[in-house]
Amino acid sequence: MVKLKEYSLEKIKEIISFEKDFRDLNSWKFEHIPLGEMEHTYKLSKGNKKYFLKELKPHEAQMEYFLVKLRLRDLPFSLYPKLLKQKILIRRFIVGRMLRSKNIDLKLIKDFVNMRNKMNDKKYFDKYNILKLNNYSQKDNGFYEKDLEGSFSKAMSVLNKLNKYHLNEVENFKRILNYLKGNKKSINKDFVNMPFAKQHQDFREDNIIIEKGRHKLIDWGSAYGYNPFMYDVAPFLINNAQALKIYVKNSKNCKGVSKEQISRWLYVALAARFLDIIMSRLHFSENRTNTKADCKKYLAYEYKTYKKLLDC
């Protein structure tokens, strides 16, 4: 992986000091937050003013600029959009706790769908594409089809490494995976042929903060482009009929589409997410598999969602 060229802290201070609010920068406190790939993430405070400051990757800065233009309540946005052109995010500091279930706020689902609807308008995308990123696409160029095809054997390899724990939960995951392998051609085909849309790409509990009862979606660092539109939200819709109803009612991608087709899209998106969590969340570098107890807890939690894949 090529390491992105990052600013120095001195350079970041120089950039933000051109904003009127930060001309007296020496009176502001920088508290480093060890978070994500980029080194420079801080809590910026002065008196009762508290902001989140982060140096962004180019695609992330572009997505944050779109969020400024969308101004959706549960998709927090930058307070200083001009800084995004220089890949610096400053937004209100959100105080809350991470979501610890798949029980998602319906208001967040609606905001997320509204974002999708706007971002699927190419004229809108081009109008606010300030960093001139070429990632608007309404179809697969072969990447997702190839990636999904190879994921079945890779996922089984990851699960086999967990045999050392002798857990029923590992066997449950293998049972789901073996069932999916028997239908992988149709799953692959249907996945890459559903409508495409802008993704968060890391839509999970750790990136949803509950603040005063509202769910806030943060961290767009993985939002590289467009892919099958139900991928992000599938785990949060599969056991939540009300959330699914809101999603379908408001999504332009679902207009005029049969309930059977939507159910199929949801299923294959959930299958793709299942493969992804095995390869990314159960990877040896993740602490979820460090001990037998950690592994058991994580698999048991996720099984409540993904056992639905056996119902087809």
CA pair distance 239, 111, nearest whole angstrom: 20
Fold (topology level) of 117-124+134-310? Aminoglycoside 3'-phosphotransferase; Chain: A, domain 2 (3.90.1200)
For residue 286, the model assigns a pLDDT of 82
Contacts of 147 by beta carbon, 8 Å cutoff, 6+ apart: none
CATH of domain 9-93: 3.30.200
Return the DSSP state at 278. I
The two tokens of residue 296 are: 């058991």
For residue 2, the model assigns a pLDDT of 45
Question: Which part of the chain is CATH 3.90.1200?
Answer: 117-124+134-310
CA geometry: angle at 70 spanning 68 and 76, to 5°? Answer: 55
Question: Which part of the chain is CATH 3.30.200?
Answer: 9-93
Residues of the chain with pLDDT under 70: 1-3
Return the DSSP state at 94. P
- Tokens 């056991």 correspond to what residue? 239
CA pair distance 180, 162, nearest whole angstrom: 19
Hey, which residues does 217 pair with through a beta bridge?
208
The two tokens of residue 213 are: 């009862």
For residue 284, the model assigns a pLDDT of 76
